[in-house]
Amino acid sequence: MSKLIEFTLTEALEGLEKGEFTARELTQTHLDAIGAAAPLNAFITDTSERALSMADASDERRKKGEAGLIEGAPIAVKDLFCTVGARTAAASNILGEFDPPYESTITANLWKEGGVMIGKVNMDEFAMGSSNEHSRYGPVVSPWRRDGKNDKLVPGGSSGGSAAAVSADLCLGAPGTDTGGSIRQPAAFTGIVGVKPTYGLCSRFGVVAFASSLDHPGPLAKTVEDSAILLRSMAGHDKNDSTSLDVEIPDYAAAVGRSVKGLKVGVPAEYQVDGMPDEIRDLWNQGVEWLKEAGAECVDVSLPHTKYALPAYYIVAPAEASSNLARYDGMRYGARVEKDGLVPTYEATRGEGFGAEVQRRVLIGTYVLSAGYYDAYYLKAQKVRQRILQDFRDTFENVDVLLTPATPSAAFGFGERDADPIQMYLNDIFTVTANLAGVPAISVPAGLDNQGLPLGLQLIAPALGEETMFAAAGALEKAANFSAKPKRWWESA
Amino acid sequence: MSVTKDEVRHIAHLARLRVSEDRLDTLASELNGILDWIEQLDEVDVEGVEAMTTAVESSLPMREDKVTAAGDRDAVLKNAPKSEEGFFVVPKAVE
């Protein structure tokens, strides 16, 4: 396989700028790598012709001195982002062959900055899942395997296709979405960087909605610097999203490499959970040491409502999902299952179009929002959510950033967590708090477990504290010096 | 609170989901498992706490009251499961 795919985004942009290769060559090399990676089942919609014409247009722009921030970089797009002329189905049967008449703001921004759409990637249906086992296209297989083993592992979810694509060097970055951990958890499982920015920093326009108050688009990338460049390319005010923040977007990459001397890092006691493997605890302690050696001051802090985040999430997210997914009725778009009469047609369309996990969440959401239960569930959860936000606000009075593990375990095998939905939900125990509070967080690959699988550490910053977050993440990345790569077994599979 | 099989059937109807009879028991037990787990929220004192409505303080913006995107009819209709003469074709909705 060509060296070209091993480049990080930053390295590839340098090579393009120096004229060492063209966007077309870079794109073709990635398309070849994707062609050889079918066993991963990461790419589900072929847009190779468009990729090559976008690459040619990119080469033209660069010649004219009009290069954007990510000019010529192959980008893989999660099936949740509407892309004109390329099927957008949220990995659900109910959307059929939906061809959006409009483009999501996030992808439009990426193309405006010179990104090349290399293909659309797999995910958990409607972004509901932590393993990418729930998809109309079938599961994504992680590029990673345990040392000396051939068992298939999950890449995490819901942005599992995006994580697999970045980790296997099939693209230079990928926009994902994170509602409870769907960017950071798969990033941690596959040894890459995942960023969930402040709520409202990245527009939700044209992103198939799951839980609107929790949905956060953000980048998955090979390095912290790459993720900073991608976030800057994606973020910005959008009048088409009423929750979009009207703030200046700084040069986040400039914050990577900034000194963390004197930075105050909080280590929250509540993230020490029962049954957490020793390796994760050790890595977390190691992270504290690394940041101290880089000049930061680490202090113990407490966020007492942390343990209530996940149960509150499993009221708010399904409630919003049941409302958002009410639009899929098979009338104006999507796959209709025709029956005798209107209601039977609705019920058959939705009964056949939605997968098991989506149906479970729609039922929970419908139940908690139904007459007589709203106060006991949804309203209560929104009040608990306020408590969780207040925990963060109080803590950030005294510290600049929090350091936690990204996930409670390394990647697991197919079917291992499927029997009990709650076991699957617990994957998001460390990530979901930041979604409820809307604060930015990043997952940074920091080590391997004793079976050779990646583990990540998470940094959480106050709202709009992305630059501090990137500075701390840069220091962590430098100290961890994570350089492991999956063995390219799929090329001979 | 415990959800019965009949309630699951009712919720499924409210959600316009066709669920076969033989799945109702499993779904009831899954929903009860999740609802039991959620019950730990009762431990939290939320007396006097306002429900959270926004993550970052911001006011809802106003826009000019004018048509900005009058969709292209053909582009919209091309995704329709059924259409005729520029209209969506749907099952009879009024008896």
Q: What is the mean pLDDT of residues A81-88?
A: 97
Give yes or no for a contact between A32 and A80, defined as CB atoms under 8 angstroms apart: no
Q: What is the mean pLDDT of residues B50-69?
A: 82
User: What is the model's pLDDT at position A492?
Assistant: 86
Q: Which of A101, A332, A382 sits opposite B51 (nearest CB)?
A: A382
How far is residue A11's CA from residue A32's CA, in Å, rounded to a whole number?
A: 20
Fold of A10-262: Amidase signature (AS) enzymes (3.90.1300)
With contacts defined as CB-CB under 8 Å, which chain A residues touch B63? 239
User: What is the model's pLDDT at position A137?
Assistant: 98
Q: What percent of chain B has pLDDT over 90?
A: 66
Q: How many contacts does A have with B, using Cβ atoms within 8 A? A: 162
Answer yes or no: A227 catalytic: no
How far is residue A82's CA from residue A113's CA, in Å, rounded to a whole number?
A: 18
Rounded to a whole number of angstroms, the distance from the CA of A335 to the nearest CA of chain B is 6
User: What is the model's pLDDT at position A421?
Assistant: 77
User: What is the model's pLDDT at position A184?
Assistant: 98
Interface of A with B in 155-214 (CB under 8 A): 198-200, 213
User: What is the model's pLDDT at position B1?
Assistant: 57
Rounded to a whole number of angstroms, the distance from the CA of B41 to the nearest CA of chain A is 6
User: What is the model's pLDDT at position B69?
Assistant: 72
User: What is the model's pLDDT at position A426?
Assistant: 85
Give yes or no for a contact between A336 and A351, defined as CB atoms under 8 angstroms apart: no
Instruction: Indicate if the pLDDT at residue B93 is higher than 90.
Output: no
Taking the C-alpha atoms of A330, A335, A339 and A345 in order, what is their torsion angle to the nearest 10 degrees?
A: -30
With contacts defined as CB-CB under 8 Å, which chain A residues touch B93? 342
pLDDT tier for residue A400 given thresholds of 50, 70 and 90: very high
For A426-463, the pLDDT digits (tens) are 889 999 999 999 999 999 999 999 999 999 999 999 99
pLDDT tier for residue A2 given thresholds of 50, 70 and 90: low
Q: How many Cβ atoms are within 10 Å of A418's Cβ, its own excluded?
A: 15
User: What is the model's pLDDT at position B20?
Assistant: 92
For A224-278, the pLDDT digits (tens) are 999 999 999 999 999 999 999 999 999 999 999 999 999 999 999 999 988 888 9
- Complex confidence, ipTM: 0.94
Q: Which of A245, A308, A342 sits opposite B92 (nearest CB)?
A: A342
With contacts defined as CB-CB under 8 Å, which chain A residues touch B7? 367
Q: Which of A481, A474, A458, A421 is nearest to A187 (CA)?
A: A458
How far is residue A267's CA from residue A430's CA, in Å, rounded to a whole number?
A: 13
Q: Does A311 touch chain B (CB under 8 A)?
A: yes
For A206-221, the pLDDT digits (tens) are 999 999 999 999 999 9
User: What is the model's pLDDT at position B95?
Assistant: 73
3-state helix/strand/coil string of chain A: CCHHHHCCHHHHHHHHHHCCCCHHHHHHHHHHHHHCCHHHCCEEECCHHHHHHHHHHHHHHHHCCCCCCCCCCEEEEECCECECCECCCCCCHHHCCCCCCCCCHHHHHHHHCCCEEEEEECCCHHHCCCCCCCCCCCCCCCCCCCCCCCCCECCCCCCHHHHHHHHCCCCCCEEEEECCCCCHHHHHHCCCEEEECCCCCCCCCCECCCCCCCCEEEEEECCHHHHHHHHHHHCCCCCCCCCCCCCCCCCHHHHCCCCCCCCEEEEEHHHCCCCCCHHHHHHHHHHHHHHHHCCCEEEEECCCCHHHHHHHHHHHHHHHHHHHHHHCCCCCCCCCCCCCCHHHHHHHHHHHHCCHHHHHHHHHHHHHHCCCCCHHHHHHHHHHHHHHHHHHHHHCCCCCEEEEECCCCCCCECCCCCCCHHHHHHHHCCCHHHHHHCCCEEEEEEEECCCCCEEEEEEECCCCCHHHHHHHHHHHHHHHCCCCCCCCHHHHC
Instruction: Indicate if the pLDDT at residue A1 is higher than 70.
Output: no
User: What is the residue-averaged pLDDT of chain A?
Assistant: 96
Helix (H) or strand (E) holding B58: none
With contacts defined as CB-CB under 8 Å, which chain B residues touch A387? 44, 46, 49
pLDDT tier for residue A84 given thresholds of 50, 70 and 90: very high
Verify whether the Cβ–Cβ distance B56 to A463 is below 8 Å.
yes
Q: What is the mean pLDDT of residues B10-20?
A: 96
Domain-by-domain residue ranges, chain A? 10-262
Answer yes or no: A182 catalytic: yes
The active-site residue out of A58, A142, A158, A159 is A158
Instruction: Indicate if the pLDDT at residue A393 is higher than 70.
Output: yes
Rounded to a whole number of angstroms, the distance from the CA of B77 to the nearest CA of chain A is 8
Give yes or no for a contact between A215 and A251, defined as CB atoms under 8 angstroms apart: no
Q: Which of A109-113, A314-318, A426-430 has the lowest mean pLDDT?
A: A426-430
Rounded to a whole number of angstroms, the distance from the CA of B27 to the nearest CA of chain A is 7
The active-site residue out of A135, A182, A233, A322 is A182
Fold of B5-41: Histone, subunit A (1.10.20)
Interface of A with B in 253-292 (CB under 8 A): none
Domain-by-domain residue ranges, chain B? 5-41
Sort B65 into a burial class: Cβ within 10 Å, 0-12 / 13-18 / 19+: exposed
Answer yes or no: A158 catalytic: yes
